[in-house]
Amino acid sequence: MSETYSFSKERRQFREVCQRAFTLGLQVSTGGNLSMRVDDGIYLVKPSGISLFDLKEEGILLMDRNGVVVEGKGKPTKEWNSHFNIYQVREDVNGIAHYHAPFATAHAVAGKEVPLLTIHAKRILVKVPLIGLAKEGSDELSTMVREVFAHEAVTAALLSGHGVIAVGKDLLAAQNMAELLEESAKIALLSRLVEPQHHHNQ
């Protein structure tokens, strides 16, 4: 078997983004999933059951639009449906990152949108919708994800009780959106400690 894998440059970027997400604490253990559109109907996808930190370039799966693995060993993420639904409605999106980032996910489990308090977040994220509760990997969830991301202005969303999903023109752009969302959620929580809510009402 040949040791050369297709899309080596893209695989390198994929692995770098995975390392970065793990190092920043956006995702621990084997959770989270990422994908990258590398050609028409061809995608690089994180396999299930391996941590972002341990994922090697050759371990990344190459899949077609039907979810069939054309290169690599392992099972694709169960969130593939949601990823594919975004790619279908957003030609501008070539990278998707989904994490259980703690500060943003704290808002998602509370069923609250992340308040975008900084000038930076307001300008770049604009609005981060909260997607309703649905079973992970379900058609119901992928349909809701599709409806939210059908709007070109949406670059990130919260999944109720679950985590965050961010998109971009490439995987690094999606990663940047996920990082900004997590930072915004952290700032929102800290600002409540600095100035408790009741002060605003006085």
Domain locations along the chain:
8-196
Q: In 10 A of CB 195, how many CB atoms? A: 10
Which pLDDT tens digits describe the chain residue by residue (202 residues)? 345 678 989 999 999 999 999 999 989 888 899 999 999 999 999 999 999 999 999 999 999 988 899 998 888 888 888 999 999 999 999 999 999 999 999 999 998 989 888 898 989 998 899 998 887 778 888 899 999 999 999 999 999 888 999 999 999 999 999 999 999 999 999 998 887 765 444 4
Alpha carbon of 200 to those of 113, 116, 185, 192, 197: distances in Å? 19, 17, 19, 10, 6
CA–CA separation, 170 and 173 (whole Å) = 5
Fold annotation for 8-196: L-fuculose-1-phosphate Aldolase (3.40.225)
Q: Which residues contact 29 (CB under 8 A, 6 or more apart)?
A: 51
Q: Is 91 known to be catalytic?
A: no
Tokens of 120: 């930076």
**From 3, 16, 79, 113, active-site residue:** 79
